[in-house]
Amino acid sequence: MPHAVPPRSPPARAFPCVAAVVLAAVPQASLAGPHPPPARYLSYPAAAPHAFGVGPADRTLLVRNVRVLDPDSQTAQVSDVFVRGETIAAVTPVGLPGPASADQVLDGAGRTLLPGLVDLHAHSWGNPSATDADPDQTLGPEPTAELLLRAGVTAWLDLGSREADIFGARDRQRAGHLAGADIHAAGPVFVPGDDPATATDGFARVCSDAASARAHVRDLARRQPDVVKLIYEATRARPGMAQATLAAALDEAARLHLRTVVHIYHWGDLRTAARLGATAVTHLDDAGAIPPALVALLRRRGTAMIPTLGVQGEMANLIEHPALLDDPLLRALVPAALLDTYRKPLVFCKKAAFWASWQPHVRALNAESLRRLHVAGVPVLVGPDAGNFGLFQGFAVHRELEMYVAAGLPAWHALRLATTDAGRFLGRRYGVRAGDVANVVLVEGDPLVDMAATRRLWRVVWRGHVQQPAAR
């Protein structure tokens, strides 16, 4: 059951029977219009500025002489960044009069400052080992929030975890009692089922029909979920959620101004979810690159896509490039013994072996789908589906960005998707301008030249507080 299960049973995303597919020439120019309609998520109200109360409201921080990347304007300018409390108060180009001092001053010379990364598809259960003999890394919401922050991921959207745990952690954080990356959460996932009383251990809401779907949305709304997450695999060869049930859930969520994210399996699922008004859909079918008619539909409807290239390719990448497992940031985040299980394809557990077997055949198709979406102006967002095989909390979102660039997206654009656009999806200001939340990272090197530079963290600033990253 995808996304509704604890560690050791990660979602069974699998795409068997993908034969060699010849990539057709993409009619990109004909798809790209000058003015795509706005993303559907922009129609939702922005969240009121919210301080977590992590320090005195008038405490100040000055980062001097740092190269600031603003993904919205695509400008890089050496500036002084002044933070008051949890908010960026001013960004002043060097040479202009700016704040002279602060409670804390960092010299950012030679470094690059950009908004902290935001992961829009993660799960907080932990990281799985690839063998049966070695233990998983068990996390949960609070350790995940801490781990992500040390990896430079300053906010995340949990798209399916045990309801009480994830909302509990999120609410404690919003009340000022918990540090770590900003938590946004769906809570449980909505799944089909004949019996709403099915025991799900808090990971799922079982919707037997349209009426129960509406009732679950209304009930969940009391917990103020940041999105409602639905599993819609109607075209898969097993009983899936009925279209009327999905329609009812999406309609009820829209009435309550709740954003929705629909997990899809085949292109037909995506078509239905977009037509019915989902705010976003997640995953790609890799039976073939996304058909142009579907790209046009997503564009027309303003439906956002969270493609999750990672969950459909990173295991294969790790097997082909085991040096990735030696990355200093990754090794500071995940136990070495667990990482080393990914070096042993011959003794992978059955499920890991299966994942490793299909991914090599679908990576190129997924990259092609992403290119088509990008060229057409479909709103794309970034979230690798961390918590699944080969997708380690925090590290995975850096890698997802690298995959976007490898697929052909401009680095500036990829950075915007994972920062300011992610903030817009969540109704938050996650940028580098006055008034934005002071969630930023300082890195060595230049992500515009080599996206892997986002992994070379020098400092992480969360809500105005300077943190040491996991690896220095």
C-alpha atoms less than 13 angstroms from C-alpha of 144 in its C-beta half-sphere: 29
**Total number of residues that touch Zn ion (CB under 5 A):** 2
Binding residues among 169-188 for Zn ion as defined by CB under 5 A: none
**Closer CB to Zn ion, 313 or 431, in the complex:** 313
Residue 68 or 231 with smaller CB distance to Zn ion? 231
Query: Minimum distance from CB of 410 to Zn ion (Å)?
Result: 27
**CA–centroid distance for 261 within its chain:** 12
Q: How far is the CB of 295 from Zn ion (least distance, A)?
A: 23
Task: Identify which range of 2-10, 193-201, 212-220, 335-343 contacts Zn ion by CB under 5 A.
Answer: 2-10
**Tokens of residue 310, six digits:** 């990672």
Residue closer to Zn ion (CB basis): 64 or 121: 121
> Among residues 86 and 385, whose Cβ is nearest to Zn ion?
385
Closest CB 280 distance from Zn ion, rounded Å: 12
Token pair for 278: 């989902």
Q: Kindly state the smallest distance separating residue 247's Cβ from Zn ion, in Å.
A: 22
Stretch that binds Zn ion, among 102-110, 183-191, 270-278, 382-390 (CB under 5 A): 382-390
Q: Toward Zn ion, which CB reaches closer, 3 or 455?
A: 3
Task: Give the x/- contact pattern for Zn ion in 341-380, rule: CB under 5 A.
Answer: ----------------------------------------
Q: How far is the CB of 123 from Zn ion (least distance, A)?
A: 6
Q: Nearest distance from residue 160's CB to Zn ion, in Å?
A: 6
Minimum separation from the CB atom of position 412 to Zn ion (A): 27
From the list 91-99, 169-177, 222-230, 385-393, the region that binds Zn ion by CB under 5 A is: 385-393
CB of 431 to Zn ion, least distance (A): 26
C-alpha separations of 343 from 317, 348, 394 in Å: 11, 9, 20
Q: Toward Zn ion, which CB reaches closer, 159 or 329?
A: 159
Which lies closer to Zn ion via its Cβ, residue 191 or residue 453? 191
Shortest distance (Å) from residue 263 CB to Zn ion: 7
Q: Which stretch binds Zn ion (CB under 5 A): 87-95, 213-221, 384-392, 457-465?
A: 384-392
For residues 436 to 465, the per-residue mask of contacts with Zn ion, x marking binding by CB under 5 A and - elsewhere, is ------------------------------
Q: Is the Cβ of residue 82 or residue 395 nearer to Zn ion in the bound state?
A: 395
Q: How far apart are CA 86 and CA 83, in angstroms?
A: 7
Tokens representing 132? 């049966």
- One-letter-per-residue 3-state SS of the chain: CCCCCCCCCCCCCCCCCCCCCCCCCCCHHHHCCCCCCCCHHHHCCCCCCCCCCCCCCCCEEEEEEEEEEECCCCEEEEEEEEEECCEEEEEEECCCCCCCCCCEEEECCCCEEEECEEEEEECCCEECCCCCCCCCEECCHHHHHHHHHHCCEEEEEECCCCHHHHHHHHHHHHCCCCCCCEEEECCCEEEECCCCCCCCCCCEEEECCHHHHHHHHHHHHCCCCCCEEEEECCCCCCCCCCHHHHHHHHHHHHHCCCCEEEEECCHHHHHHHHHCCCCEEECCCCCCCCCHHHHHHHHHHCCEEECCCHHHCHHHHHHHCHHHHHCHHHHHHCCHHHHHHCCCHHHCCHHHHHHHHHHHHHHHHHHHHHHHHHHHCCCECCCCCECECCCCCCHHHHHHHHHHHHCCCCHHHHHHHCCHHHHHHHCCCCCCCCCCECCEEEECCCCCCCHHHHHCEEEEEECCEEECCCCC
CB atoms within 10 A of CB 243: 16
* Closer to Zn ion by Cβ: residue 366 or 467: 366
Minimum CB–partner distance for residue 14 and Zn ion (Å) = 14
Question: With respect to Zn ion, which residue has the nearer C-beta, 3 or 150?
Answer: 3
The answer to the question of residue 3 lying near Zn ion (CB under 5 A) is yes
CB of 266 to Zn ion, least distance (A): 17
Cβ closer to Zn ion: 136 or 385? 385
From 3-11, 40-48, 229-237, 444-452, span contacting Zn ion (CB under 5 A): 3-11
Given the complex with Zn ion, which of 123 and 374 has the nearer CB atom? 123
Q: Considering all CA atoms of the chain, what is the largest pairwise distance in Å, rounded to the nearest integer?
A: 67
Smallest separation (angstroms) from Zn ion to the CB of 317: 18
- Which of 233, 385, 421, 436: binder of Zn ion (CB under 5 A)? 385
Stretch that binds Zn ion, among 231-239, 249-257, 381-389, 401-409 (CB under 5 A): 381-389
Would you tell me which residues interact with Zn ion (CB under 5 A)?
Answer: 3, 385
